[in-house]
Amino acid sequence: MKRILFPLALALVILATTGQAQESKSTTRFERQHKPPSAMGTRVAEYEVNLLKSLETGNQVAQAQAVQTIRDLEQMFPAYSFAASLAPLEKKLKDANADPVVRVLVALALDELHSDAGDSVIRDVANSADDKGLQNLCKSLLVRSDFK
């Protein structure tokens, strides 16, 4: 009986600890554990530059992957501003000839910046986009950002 209860209790403690870490903004703890702030900022800036180069290619899969990676980095490193991403993402979102999936991912990435500049780009697209699905998404992102 003890052979069963001890591992079960240990597993429950590990699960409880993991749940608390998820609730307590584990991304900032992740940042502190793995890189000092200056090195983290430099490394994220390098990734950002390389990802923005992928946006300029004609390969739609590479563009979608680059935007998704930017979104992931925004969530992992909320202290980093991602200011260099704003103009290329805005250009891609407003490009009517861009891949619709890439445009949706860009709208989501701009929303996750939690910035007034990103919200203004989303507002422009919400008011002027030809793609009704994208326009509705942008409107819903604006409503969601107003409640935060």
Q: Is residue 13 part of a domain?
A: no
Q: Is residue 7 part of a domain?
A: no
Report the domain count for the chain. 1
Q: What percent of the chain has a predicted confidence (pLDDT) above 90?
A: 20
d(CA 3, CA 50): 52
pLDDT-based confidence at residue 146 (cuts at 50, 70, 90): low
Task: Specify if 56 maps to a domain.
Answer: yes
- Range of the structural domain that residue 91 is part of: 35-146
pLDDT-derived band of residue 21, with 50, 70 and 90 as boundaries? Answer: very low
DSSP letter at 57 equals S
Whether 28 is in a domain gets the answer no
Report yes or no on 108 lying in a domain.
yes
Whether 25 maps to a domain, the answer reads no
Q: How distant, in Å, are the alpha carbons of 12, 16, 38, 73 from that of 104? A: 40, 36, 32, 17
**Quick check: is 5 in a domain?**
no
Is residue 8 very low, low, confident or very high in pLDDT (cuts 50, 70, 90)? Answer: low
- In this structure, is residue 117 part of a structural domain? yes
pLDDT exceeds cutoff 80 at 48: yes
Query: Model confidence over 56-103: pLDDT tens digits?
Result: 888 899 899 989 988 888 888 888 888 888 899 999 999 989 899 999
For residue 101, give the CATH number of its domain: 1.25.10
